[in-house]
Chains A and B, each alone.
Chain A
């Protein structure tokens, strides 16, 4: 079985291969880097800072300070249900119910001068 030989004949491809072999291919890239190196450095510093912040935040979250809470006292329970009652509450109730308003009952108005003479209507 014959081994087919692959041969590049396209001149543009040959030129590209030669540029890669000689390093001429990297010249525009180097020029671009040289031209924008301060931007790249700034971006790199910014990226480092952001990464540092993220790492710091993650460390802070892992090491939260302990929270000290007061012990649970429970819900207050009314004690009125168990209050001792006196046998004489009814006297106190009578006193509280006693109205001190006078006159009680109110005296209604009466006309004591009923006649047909005077014009005192």
Chain B
């Protein structure tokens, strides 16, 4: 009886964890959307209040603008932290263990902590002078942290490519034992070609990942071709993967699947 209860409880926990994990995935995106919408609302209000203050430098206008500035800074840095979290969540969703991207993931988390820290720090702003000092300090450190978002975006795509490579390799490993032995020489050659092509694709992904120079993140991220040069590589790798899987599926259909 106890065993049955335990089994029901375990199944219940499994179902609950399944649904809560999907909720966590949804949270990263929805949290980012929410925080960014808060920033947009706050910023539009701040622009109006700042203009009022610049036009009429009354104490009342200054206080209103100051409060709005604090609120906007808070929303801005929370939105940036959420964006980093969202990227980290997407990368984690591919469930890949790929060393070249790990430094970027760590840096994304560090940058997220930085943004959260700045959001908290902004709430200690009281005077206009405090605000000025805060923004001056922010501008000296923000470029590097902002640039990491670009790296995170590229790493997100690399993680997707690595996931496809892993799935493809598993598929090939699963097909080989199902082939009738002895394997015809022509088919063996096709399988060897697949293995060779897979290594070539792996090499291209490694090259793309190792080309993310975090040490020079600021200079690299402001480069106009930061994304465009990598899009070309992504397209090339994606086409190679598509060609690879087409060849694997052809072998699967003609040699593994029962013919109708």
Q: Which residues of A contact B (CB under 8 A)?
A: 82, 84-89, 91-92, 94-96, 98, 100-105, 107-108, 110-117, 119, 121
Contact = CB atoms under 8 A, between A and B. Distances in A.
B40 to A, nearest CB: 8
B72 A88 contact: no
A120 B197 CA distance: 54
Interface in B115-161: 128, 131-132, 135, 138-139, 142, 146, 149-150, 153-154, 156-157, 160-161
Interface stretch (B1-9, B95-103, B251-259): B251-259
A121 B230 contact: no
B139 A112 contact: yes
Interface in B229-260: 230-231, 234-235, 238, 241-242, 245-246, 248-249, 252-253, 257-260
Given A100-B234, A101-B231, A111-B43, 12 more contacts: A84-B258, A86-B253, A91-B167, A91-B168, A91-B171, A92-B249, A94-B167, A104-B156, A105-B86, A108-B79, A110-B80, A116-B65
A88 B249 contact: yes
A114 B153 contact: no
A84 B250 CA distance: 10
Given A84-B253, A102-B153, A107-B153, A116 B128 contact: yes
A84 B257 contact: yes
Given A84-B253, A92-B242, A92-B249, A102 B230 contact: yes
B242 A95 contact: yes
If over half of B's interface residues share one DSSP class (helix, strand or loop), that class is named, otherwise mixed; here it is helix
Interface stretch (B15-23, B49-57, B183-191, B212-220): B49-57
A85 B258 CA distance: 10
A29 to B, nearest CB: 94
B252 A88 contact: yes
Interface of B: 36, 39, 43, 46-47, 50-51, 53-54, 62, 65-66, 69, 72-73, 76, 79-80, 83, 86-87, 128, 131-132, 135, 138-139, 142, 146, 149-150, 153-154, 156-157, 160-161, 163-164, 167-168, 171, 227-228, 230-231, 234-235, 238, 241-242, 245-246, 248-249, 252-253, 257-260
A91 B160 CA distance: 12
Nearest to B252: A86
Nearest to B226: A102
Contacts of A116: 50, 53-54, 62, 65-66, 69, 128, 131-132
